[in-house]
C-alpha cells in the first residue's frame, strides 16, 4: 500500500519505505454486482522515516488499517 495514498494530508513529506505490506480485500466476486469488502479490520502500527522539507528525518509511528476478513457484498 502506498503511504501517501493512506495519508493524503502528508504529501509534503517523503516516507521511507514509501510502501508497506498490508492484507487488503480485493479480487473478484461471483456476481458482478458484488464487491469484495472488509468485514473485520485491525490497526497495525509501523515505524517509518518521515523526511521533512527542511531535511529532518525522524522515525515516526504510523497506524494503518489491515483487513482481517473479507466478504462479497
C-alpha cell belonging to residue 20:
508497506
Angle, CA 71 vertex, CA 18 and CA 69 arms, to 5°:
55
Question: Which domains, and CATH codes, for the chain?
Answer: 3-72 (2.10.90.10)
Name the pTM for this structure. Answer: 0.86
* pLDDT tens readout for residues 10-32: 999 999 999 999 999 999 999 99
Cα–Cα distance, 8 to 57 (Å, whole number): 19
Cα–Cα distance, 63 to 70 (Å, whole number): 20
- pLDDT interval class at 39 (50, 70, 90): very high
C-alpha cell belonging to residue 71:
466478504
Amino acid at each position: 500500500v502506498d503511504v501517501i495514498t493512506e495519508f493524503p494530508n502528508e504529501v509534503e513529506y517523503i516516507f521511507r519505505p514509501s510502501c508497506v505490506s498490508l492484507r487488503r480485500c480485493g479480487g473478484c466476486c461471483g456476481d458482478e454486482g458484488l464487491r469484495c469488502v472488509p468485514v473485520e479490520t485491525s490497526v497495525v502500527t509501523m515505524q517509518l522515516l518521515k523526511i521533512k522539507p527542511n531535511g529532518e528525518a525522524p522515525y515516526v509511528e504510523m497506524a494503518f488499517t489491515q483487513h482481517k476478513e473479507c466478504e462479497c457484498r
